[in-house]
């Protein structure tokens, strides 16, 4: 059986830090591709997917 190389990852963000700053931040799921980064639209946290070939 051959493992396929993963091309995308799904990450979850629900805010971080002082809870009062993130009251309006719902738990969201973002999809990030290999070699790309995506920014959470609520808290600006950056997620990067780096492939380890």
Dist CA 45 CA 39 (whole Å): 6
Q: Does some domain include residue 14?
A: yes
Q: Does some domain include residue 1?
A: no
Number of domains in the chain: 1
Q: Does some domain include residue 15?
A: yes
> In this predicted structure, what is the pLDDT of residue 52?
74
Q: Does some domain include residue 35?
A: yes
Give the domain extent around 12: 8-49
Q: Does some domain include residue 27?
A: yes
Dist CA 18 CA 1 (whole Å): 46
Nearest to 14 by CA among 48, 43, 53, 51: 43
Q: Does some domain include residue 2?
A: no
> In this predicted structure, what is the pLDDT of residue 19?
57
> In this predicted structure, what is the pLDDT of residue 1?
40
Q: Does some domain include residue 19?
A: yes
> In this predicted structure, what is the pLDDT of residue 28?
95
Which mean pLDDT values do the consecutive 10-residue runs of the chain (53 residues) have?
Answer: 72 76 84 95 92 73
């Amino acid at each position: 059986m051959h493992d396929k190389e993963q091309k995308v990852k799904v990450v979850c963000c629900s805010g971080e830090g002082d809870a009062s700053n993130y009251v309006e931040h719902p738990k969201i799921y973002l999809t990030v591709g290999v070699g790309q980064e995506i920014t959470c639209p609520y808290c600006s946290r950056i997620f990067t997917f780096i492939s380890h070939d």
